[in-house]
Amino acid sequence: MNKKHIKTLMIQECASLMYFEGVSQYFDAKRIAAKRICKSKNQFFPSNGEISKAVYQLSLQDQHFDRADTLFRMRLKALEMMQLLDCFSPRLIGSVSTGKIKRSSDIDLHVFCDDIELLTTYLTDDKVLFEQNEVLIMKNNKPKLYQHIYIVNEFNIELSVYSVNELRVTSRSSTDGKPIVRMSRSKLERIIEQEHWESLIKM
């Protein structure tokens, strides 16, 4: 097999691992796929963006996944959470904002506060069940710890907590290297009205 063919197989295998086998991290998918296809740990690695596109194509081909209805319900849940967390300037990112969801997609929100206890106390007072964890992220080629909060609901919700002064700072996606688009609550409301008006009528 030539290099191009192997890379194509790698993309397909990585997408299958993430869509059907529950592998959540791109690096893990690449490592497993390389062992299966190349008998090696580091050959012919596709980009995260190439894998992401292949995963989305699998979701479009999945006849047992009602993508339109699921996206509508996820966006409503995201809006509900953003309304609850309005004082923390919530912004929606990721597949729920772009519409490119898959079965395992969760709701990713960025929230902004300088004291994590303010946020956790707020959630506790509102009887929201959550888990808290620290995640190491590279910022400007330097490692930095960020607090993440995980909420188990109808759909899993992940809150990435940033300082208030980072609200205007543009981060780049680990998937494709492009600037992360943060969607405000008002923008999400417009998207729901424009793209899901038929579902709104049926409610």
Q: Which residues pair with 145 in a beta bridge?
A: 136
| pLDDT tens digits, 107-130 | 999 999 999 999 999 999 999 999
| pLDDT tens digits, 88-100 | 999 999 999 999 8
**174 falls in which pLDDT band (50, 70, 90)?**
low
Q: Which helix (H) or strand (E) holds 156?
A: none
Q: Give 171's DSSP letter.
A: P
Q: What is the pLDDT of residue 48?
A: 86
Q: In the chain, pLDDT over 90 holds for what percent of residues?
A: 47
Distance CA 73, CA 101 (A): 12
Main-chain dihedrals φ then ψ at residue 158, nearest 5 degrees: -115, 125
Distance CA 86, CA 25 (A): 30
